[in-house]
Chain A
Amino acid sequence: MLPTPDTSHVPFDTIYEPSEDSYLFLDTLSSNSESAWLRSRFTSPSPSPSPSPLAVEVGCGSGVVLAFLTANSQHILGRRDVLALATDVNRDACIATQKTVTKAVHERQSTQQDDGPSDAQNEKASTSICLSAVTANLCTPLRPGTVDILLFNPPYVPTEELPTLPSSTQPSTSSSYLESSSKELSRSAKFERDSYYLSLTYAGGQDGMETTERLLDAIPEVLDPDRGVAYVLLCKQNRPEEVKERIRGWGGGWRAETVGNSGVQAGWEKLVIVRIWRV
C-alpha cells in the first residue's frame, strides 16, 4: 500500500481533516484498474520529450489527495514529472497544501532511494514538484485547456443554504474577521471564523450539488482537450447516476463512470468517485 501523506502540520480548526472521502480518493487513484487507465493515458510512448502532466486539486483543503498523486506519480501515472497546483478559498488551506505536497514528495523520494539500485534505470529519474497553491474560487484563475488531471472532493452535504463565498478583502464589510489572523481575534470571533471556514468544506446547498455544479460547468473549458481527466467525489444524496447522465449529455464525446466507491449500504453506494473524460 502506498503511504498516506503526512498532514500533522495542518491546522484543522479551519481546514477539513482527511476523512473517509479523502481516503476513498487515495484508494481509487492507486487501485490497479485506475492506475492502469491513467498510465495508458499519460505514459509517453517514446523517449523523446513528452509534456509534463499538470495536476490540479480544486478546494484542496489539507492537500492530501494532491500530495498522494504527486508523490506516488511513478506508481499511479508511470512518470515522475508531475506539476502540482492547487486552489482553495481558504488561504490557510493553500499554505498547508504547499507543505503537504512538498513534504510527501520529499519523503517518497528518500524512501525510493533507500530501496537501493534495483531501480537502476530510474537512478537519475526526476521527481514531481509542487508549483503553488493559490487562493481562488474553484477553477476561476486557471488558463483554459491546461489541466491534465483535476481532483475535486467537494462540499457535498445537502444544506438549506450555501454559505457566501469569501471575496477579496474589503475592510468595510461585516466579514472583516476573515482578514484578521486568529491571534488578534477574541474567542467568539475566532469561533465564528473557524465555523464559517469549516462550513465551506462540507455545505453543498441544494442536493449538496451547488458547488459541484459550478465545477462541472468549468470542466470542458479547463481540461486539456486531448488527455484531460477529472475525478469528482459524490455522495448518494447528490444522485450520482443522474449527474453522470447529465455529463454524458454534454455531447462531444464526454464520458462519466464510477471508478471507486465506499461500499454498499442498504443497496446504495454511500460515496462514489466519478471519472470524467472525453474520448
Chain B
Amino acid sequence: MKLLTVNFLTCAVKTCKGSPAAFPLHFRDVELELHDVEFQPDFIRNIITRVDWEGLHKMANELNFPTIPEVKPDGEALQSEQLLRDLHRLLLETQVAEGRLICGNCGHEYMVKEGIANFLLPSHLV
C-alpha cells in the first residue's frame, strides 16, 4: 500500500464520516518498504494539487518524515526538484508492508498485513 493511499481513506465506521478527527488515520507499528518508481515531476505536481495537504503533513510528521513544508506548495515552489523528489519518495515509493491504522475519533484499529489494509468492520459496527 503506497502512503498516498492514506490521503483518500477515512474510518469505515459510519458515525465517524463527518468527524475531522477521523482523518487522517494514524499509523502505528509500521513496517515500511521502498519500491523504485520512475521520478515524474509533472505527475508529482498534479498529485500535490489534489491532495489534502494538512492530512499529508500530519501523516509525514507521524512517520518522522520531516521535510514536508507546512503549507501546500504552489507557484515557484513547485519548481523545486528537491521538494518533488522528497514527495515522490514519500508518496509513491514508500509502501506500508505491515502495521495498523487507527481512527482518531473512535479508536478503531485497521490492520495492514502484507501490504493490504483491512477495512472490514466487526458485525456490531456495520
CA distance A11 to B40 in the complex (A): 33
Nearest chain B CB to A49 CB, angstrom units:
4
The yes or no answer to B64 lying at the interface (CB within 8 A) is no
Q: Which of A46-64 contact B (CB under 8 A)?
A: 49-52, 54
Among the listed A49, A91, A127, A143, which residue makes an inter-chain contact with B118, where contact means beta carbons less than 8 Å apart? Answer: A91
> What count of chain B residues pass the 8 Å CB interface test?
39
The yes or no answer to A167 lying at the interface (CB within 8 A) is yes
Q: Which of B48-105 contact A (CB under 8 A)?
A: 48-50, 52, 78, 92
CA distance A35 to B70 in the complex (A): 38
User: Is there an interface contact between A167 and B116, defined as CB atoms closer than 8 Å?
Assistant: no
Residues of A within 8 A of B (CB): 49-52, 54, 80-81, 83, 85, 87, 89, 91, 94-95, 98, 124, 126-127, 129, 131-137, 140-144, 146, 165-168, 170, 221
Question: For chain B, what secondary structure do more than half of its interface residues adopt (helix, strand, loop), or is it mixed?
Answer: mixed
User: Is there an interface contact between A131 and B4, defined as CB atoms closer than 8 Å?
Assistant: yes
Among the listed B2, B110, B121, which residue makes an inter-chain contact with A137, where contact means beta carbons less than 8 Å apart? Answer: B121
CA distance A132 to B2 in the complex (A): 6
Nearest chain B CB to A182 CB, angstrom units:
16
For the complex of A and B, list the 6 residue pairs with the smallest distance between their C-beta atoms, beginning with the closest.
A51-B50, A136-B119, A126-B40, A126-B43, A141-B119, A132-B1
CA distance A129 to B47 in the complex (A): 12
User: Is there an interface contact between B50 and A52, defined as CB atoms closer than 8 Å?
Assistant: yes
User: Is there an interface contact between A52 and B46, defined as CB atoms closer than 8 Å?
Assistant: yes
User: B45: which A residues are within 8 A, CB to CB?
Assistant: 49
User: Is there an interface contact between A143 and B119, defined as CB atoms closer than 8 Å?
Assistant: no
Among the listed A85, A165, A166, which residue makes an inter-chain contact with B8, where contact means beta carbons less than 8 Å apart? Answer: A85
User: A166: which B residues are within 8 A, CB to CB?
Assistant: 120
User: A91: which B residues are within 8 A, CB to CB?
Assistant: 116, 118
Counting chain A CB atoms within 10 Å of each CB, the highest count among B23, B78, B116, B121 belongs to: B116
User: B34: which A residues are within 8 A, CB to CB?
Assistant: none
User: Is there an interface contact between B50 and A132, defined as CB atoms closer than 8 Å?
Assistant: no
Nearest chain B CB to A152 CB, angstrom units:
17
User: Is there an interface contact between A81 and B46, defined as CB atoms closer than 8 Å?
Assistant: yes
